[in-house]
Chains A and B, each alone.
Chain A
Amino acid sequence: MKRPVRFRVNGRPVSLDTERDRTLLWVLRGDLGLTGTKFGCGVGACGSCTVVVDGKAVRSCQASLNDVQGREVVTIEGLAREGTLHPLQQAFIDHGALQCGYCTPGMLMNAYALLALNPRPVPEAIEKAMEDNLCRCGAYMRILVAIAAVSREGGRP
């Protein structure tokens, strides 16, 4: 049944007249054209579709519009502000924490949620928080180094 769904994406209000059981991932990628959020597995096992909802990392392939009604969604497109990269984005570039780049948006959003919750996580806490995001190219070591570099600097909320 169609009922208007209202939420915020990257600081902007969104109102959609659509079915509320639709999956957030496809609404982001389709209706809203935010293709930075990636489909990887469809069962919440890889983390490439991770977005942040009210400060928490969420697998957008497992979330429906019902789950975000009235909430604040941040996607990879919302991480940089006015052309200035978020420290995590800069750290991923500086430390070579990506290869094919397909898992990168999910990695960054997961790390962003971690630092929002805990701005100075110890390496063990970073590893634990990132554990369920998969990178097939094998950039794990550099991803952890990049996040730790931002963690030491206190991150940015």
Chain B
Amino acid sequence: MSARAEIDRRSFIERLGGGILIIVSLGPDALLAQQRRRGYPTDVNAYLRIGANGRVTVFSGKIEMGQGVMTSQAQMLAEELGIALESIEMVLGDTDRCPWDMGTFGSLTTRMFGPALRAAGAEARAVLLQLASEQLGLPGERLVAANGVVSVKDDPGRSISYGQLAKGQAITRTLDRKAVLRSVSEFTVMGQSPLRLDARDKVTGVAKYAGDVRLPGMLYARLLRPPAHGAKLVTADTSAAAKLPGVVVVNEPDLVAVLHADPEAAAAALAHVKAEWTPAPPGADQDGIFDELVAKAPAPEVKETKGVLDGEPAPGARRFEHTYRKGYVAHAPIEPHTATATFEKGKLTIWASTQTPFPLHDRLAPMLGLDPVSVRVITPYVGGGFGGKSAGLQAEEAARLAKLTGRPVQVAFTRGEEFFYDTFDPAAVVKITSAVDAAGRITLWDYDVYFAGDRAAQLFYEVPNARRRVFGGSSGGASVHRFAVGPWRAPGANMNVWARESQIDIMAAAARIDPVEFRLRNIQDERMRRCLQEAARKFDWKPAPGPSGRGFGVACGVDSGSYAALMAEVQVDRRRGTVKVERVVCAQDMGVVVNPVGATMQVEGCITMGLGYVLSEELHFRGGQLVTENYDSYEIPRFSWRPGAIETVLVKNDELSPQGGGEPAIVPMGGVIANAVFDAAGVRLLRLPMTRARLKAALDEAPGPKSR
């Protein structure tokens, strides 16, 4: 680590106050990556501007894609600065106006950017108090700042507003001591659940997404796309398309596009482009990919070893070996990747549906041969991301086309392009060998994961003999995956936790111990024990070894610094192989909760979306070629699939700074549904998704409801 990075890191930690926890939960790699770049600025003016009218503009490099951070960030700033939520205007993801940020992913906004934003608010409030003290000629102890006004404690009639103090100017004064963040007991805005700041725009159609930007002379682009993954362009003849009225053609070696003022006309013109492609190389079918993954896996990274793996089994101990497999899963946001770009007077401005405006900015500048200050990325509302809007091919294409044509250009992926270029959650394999003794204690845990990485794989069960090996991460792996892969809501964690929690349940059932009791017997971690106990209370869990025929399941996981225990009740239609989820209870410990209803909505979203990767979602491909093109061949959860009830318990833990909320509850979904299906029907699939066909086949083979 360079000296410079070390200084940045130290000043960053100082700014965070209680930041040590955050650093631990984030992991050093991501933090250092951020430090190596720019880190969050120390100047409060980077985060906020107080207008003479008292309105406060807040700047954040994070983006709003549905997770509610427009509102929760405003709450954090309002709390620390001492202003009403209504006086805030949020500016998000604009590279010209907002402080640098590495991107909106990993449930990091509240736990990582939140402390910096809060510190800025607290510092600004302290400076305003100092200014007021001077102007009123009174010591600071006699003043109180709230609702955008500094007033005299024993003479509330005497006051001066933030707007009068700041006069719309930048705050140039610095404090001689660090401003103290408000404590939970002082909160008036944090910990509340105000209505979403983006809701009115979104219900009226006013909310602007990247495709809603309209510029004079704008052209819609349709791009020539390969017929299959791995096919390379030999030649493209655009002459016929170029003759069509109003059509502009771009024919570069790696960028062939037709553009028109009407998107339908552009699409029609694309049909006139004649292209020759190399044949795509052969590849696997969707069920054959798993052997290929294991065969081609790189040497493992050994993450943990303790005890003895091949020791004599204890008397009465039982050993279990299972292999778990999961297919590729798409992000499938309802808004396809879209970008609108304009190149004027040597400066590129682009509105993009992206989770990573600053990294996109940093790619576009050298790509276009522009100085970094000549590129501005603006992120309007993003119509769902889930990790998939980090790549940004559409933005690169729009930027290049705008520069090449000299006209504003919009690139909006079709649904087919959306599936073709998605960075899928990778197909993955987990192999587990475990053992349980006669007392129901886990004695062995030998864990190998292929291409799902290590996220959420750390064992919180107490096991004396354990090894964890990671063969290939959840991103990259270009030599093994035909398709692009990348982060998908809690990358890799869904796979790891489904495999682990299934294996735990298999052992509990074999030991004839209730699965909740089995977990509590093997877990000492207090946060997880509390989550399990709170979930059991809410669910009214009555102990019984599985399969009990009731259709009850439990699973738990740790992700993004938060703990989540889920319990579910399902009904299995043995004849049709369908699963109806009656009820899901989630107990989640996420530290201090900034917005309880917002957090609850994220839990509900996790649980509902999670049903997809559990029950239906999988990319279909034959011979290495994607067959999936649209929602008719890729089933995402629908209204009728939603659980009859989703009940969320936010486990109180005000001692801990706010942790992640966008992902933790989706992580145990595979396990909780798989375990509930087993409890209902006595069958267990070691393959996700548990499609109707696969479940029906398993049920047909199983002798009866209670058998194992």
Binding site for B on A (CB under 8 A): 22-23, 26, 29-30, 33-43, 45-46, 48, 75-77, 79-80, 85, 89-90, 92-94, 96, 98-105, 108, 127, 130-144
**Chain B residue at smallest Cβ distance from A138:** B608
Report the bound CA distance from A10 to B226 in whole Å: 41
- Chain B positions within 8 Å of A135 at CB level: 334
Residue of B nearest to A127 (CB): B639
**A10 CB, nearest partner CB in chain B, Å:** 10
B177: min CB distance to chain A, Å: 40
**Hey, which chain B residues are within 8 Å of A103, CB to CB?**
334, 383
Contact of B202 with A by CB under 8 A: yes
Q: Within B320-346, which residues are at the interface with A (CB < 8 Å)?
A: 332-336
Nearest 7 Cβ contacts at the A-B interface: A36-B205, A138-B608, A102-B383, A100-B66, A101-B202, A99-B66, A76-B205
Chain B residues within 8 Å of A90, by CB: 203
Interface size for B (C-beta < 8 A) is 58
Inter-chain CA distance A109–B561, complex, in Å, is: 39
Q: Please indicate the chain A residues that have their CB under 8 angstroms from the CB of B631 in the complex.
A: 41, 43, 45-46, 134
> Judging by beta carbons under 8 Å apart, are A30 and B608 in contact?
no
CB distance from B472 to the nearest CB of A (A): 28
* Contacts across chains A and B counted by CB atoms under 8 Å: 170
CB distance A26 to B264 under 8 Å?
A: yes
Q: Is the CB of B333 within 8 A of A131?
A: no
- Determine the distance from Cα of A102 to Cα of B353 in the docked complex, in whole angstroms: 12
Chain A residues closer than 8 Å to B108, beta-carbon distance? none
- Which residues on B sit within 8 Å (CB–CB) of A139? 601, 604-605, 608
Are A133's CB and B639's CB within 8 A?
A: yes
- The reply to whether B205 and A105 contact each other, CB–CB distance below 8 Å, is yes
Looking across the interface, which residue of chain A has its beta carbon closest to that of B413? A39
Alpha-carbon distance between A39 and B338 when the two chains are bound, in angstroms = 11
B residues in contact with A108, CB < 8 Å: 203
A49–chain B nearest beta-carbon distance, Å: 10
Interface residues of B in 626-658 (CB under 8 A from A): 630-632, 636-643, 646
- Shortest Cβ distance from B201 into A: residue: A101
B204 lies within 8 A of A136 (CB): no
**B597 touching A79 by the CB < 8 A rule?**
no
From the candidates B332, B384, B642, name the one contacting A141 in the complex (CB within 8 A): B642
Cβ contact within 8 Å between A136 and B384: yes
Most buried by A among B198, B203, B637, B641: B203
Contacts of B211 in A (CB 8 A): 35, 38-39
Q: A85-B204, A102-B209 are in contact. Are A40 and B415 (CB under 8 A)?
A: yes
Query: Would you call B405 an interface residue if the criterion is a C-beta within 8 Å of the partner chain's C-beta atoms?
Result: no
* CB neighbours of A41 from chain B (8 A): 415, 630-631
When distances are taken between beta carbons in the complex, the residues of chain B under 8 Å from A127 are: 639-640
Given contacts A35-B214, A36-B204, A38-B383, A136 and B195 within 8 Å (CB-CB): no
Task: Give complex CA distance A33, B208 in Å.
Answer: 12
- Knowing A26-B264, A108-B203 are in contact, say whether A131-B638 is a contact too (CB < 8 A): yes
List of A residues within 8 angstroms of B66 by Cβ? 98-101, 137
Q: Chain A's nearest CB lies how many Å from the CB of B353?
A: 9
- Do A89 and B334 form a contact, CB below 8 Å, given A23-B264, A127-B640, A138-B608? no
A100 touching B334 by the CB < 8 A rule? yes
Whether A104 contacts B202 in the complex (CB less than 8 A), given A41-B415, A136-B384, comes out as yes
Known: A96-B601, A133-B639, A138-B606. A79 touches B204 (CB 8 A): yes
The winner among A30, A37, A103, A136 for most chain B CB atoms within 10 A is A136
B575 at the interface (CB under 8 A from A): no
Report chain A residues within 8 Å CB of B67.
Answer: 99
CA distance A131 to B638 in the complex (A): 6
Pick from B214, B636, B643: contact of A33, CB below 8 A. Answer: B214
A79, closest chain B residue (CB): B204
CB distance from B137 to the nearest CB of A (A): 46
Contact of B604 among A85, A93, A142 (CB under 8 A): A142
Asked whether B386 is an interface residue with its Cβ less than 8 Å from the other chain, the reply is: yes
B205:A35 contact, CB within 8 angstroms = yes
Chain B interface residues (CB < 8 Å from chain A): 65-68, 195-196, 198-209, 211-212, 214, 262-264, 332-336, 381-386, 412, 414-415, 597, 601, 604-609, 630-632, 636-643, 646
- Name the contact of A99 in the complex, choosing from B201, B605, B646 (C-beta under 8 A): B605
Q: How far is the CA of A33 from the CA of B212 in the complex (A)?
A: 9
Residue numbers in B under 8 Å from A42 (CB-CB): 414-415, 630
Say yes or no: B68 contacts A99, CB within 8 Å.
yes
Whether B335 pairs with A40 at a CB distance below 8 angstroms is: yes
Chosen A-B contacts, 29 in total, with CB atoms closer than 8 Å, are: A26-B262, A33-B214, A35-B214, A36-B204, A38-B209, A40-B334, A41-B630, A43-B632, A76-B204, A90-B203, A93-B200, A96-B195, A96-B597, A98-B196, A99-B384, A100-B333, A101-B383, A102-B381, A103-B334, A134-B631, A136-B636, A137-B609, A138-B607, A138-B642, A139-B604, A140-B608, A140-B638, A141-B608, A141-B643
Tell me the minimal C-beta distance from B26 to chain A in angstroms: 24
Question: Which B residue's beta carbon lies closest to that of A34?
Answer: B205
* Contact across chains for A100 and B199 when beta carbons are under 8 A apart: no
Given contacts A101-B381, A138-B606, contact A36 B206 (CB under 8 A): yes
For A102, give its contact among B196, B206, B335, B609 (CB under 8 Å): B335
| Distance (whole angstroms) from the CB of B602 to the closest CB of chain A | 8
Once bound together, how far apart are the Cα atoms of A142 and B604, in whole Å? Answer: 9
Smallest CB gap from A126: residue in B: B639
**Chain A minimum-CB-distance residue to B600:** A96
Chain A proximity of B197: nearest CB distance (Å): 11
| Chain A residues near B641 (CB-CB < 8 A) | 140
Contact check, B333 vs A136: say whether CB atoms are below 8 A apart: yes
Residue among A38, A80, A130 with the highest chain B CB neighbour number at 10 A: A38
| CB-defined contacts of A130 to chain B, threshold 8 Å | 639
A104: which B residues are within 8 A, CB to CB? 202-203
A35 and B205 alpha carbons, distance in the complex (Å) = 7
- Shortest Cβ distance from B206 into A: residue: A36
How many whole Å from A12's CB to the nearest CB in chain B?
Answer: 15
Instruction: Give B381's nearest chain A residue, CB to CB.
Output: A101
- Contact between A92 and B639, CB atoms less than 8 A apart: no
Nearest chain B CB to A80 CB, angstrom units = 6
Beyond A76-B204, A89-B203, A131-B638, 5 additional pairs, beta carbon < 8 A: A39-B412, A92-B199, A101-B202, A137-B609, A138-B608
User: Smallest CB–CB gap between A128 and chain B, Å?
Assistant: 8
B214 cross-chain contacts in A, Cβ below 8 A? 33, 35
Return B234 CB to nearest CB of chain A, in Å.
28
What chain B residues lie within 8 Å of A43 (beta carbons)?
Answer: 415, 630-632
The chain A residue sitting closest to B418, CB to CB, is A41
Alpha-carbon separation in the docked complex, A46 to B336 (Å):
12
Question: B226 to chain A: closest CB distance in Å?
Answer: 19
Give CA–CA (A90, B199) in the complex, Å.
Answer: 9
Instruction: Report the bound CA distance from A78 to B355 in whole Å.
Output: 31
- Distance in angstroms from B136 CB to nearest chain A CB is 40
Q: Name the distance in Å between A137's Cβ and chain B's nearest Cβ.
A: 5
* Residue contact B384 to A102, C-beta cutoff 8 Å: yes
Q: Which residues of A contact B385 (CB under 8 A)?
A: 100
Known: A26-B263, A40-B334, A137-B605. A100 touches B630 (CB 8 A): no
Q: Which of A34, A46, A108 has the most CB of B within 10 A?
A: A46
User: When chains A and B are docked, how far (Å) is the Cα of A80 from the Cα of B636?
Assistant: 31
- Complex Cα gap A11–B212 (Å): 22
Question: Are A39 and B336 neighbours in the complex by a CB distance under 8 Å?
Answer: yes
- Alpha-carbon distance between A45 and B209 when the two chains are bound, in angstroms: 21
> Which of A22, A77, A98, A143 has most chain B Cβ within 10 Å?
A98
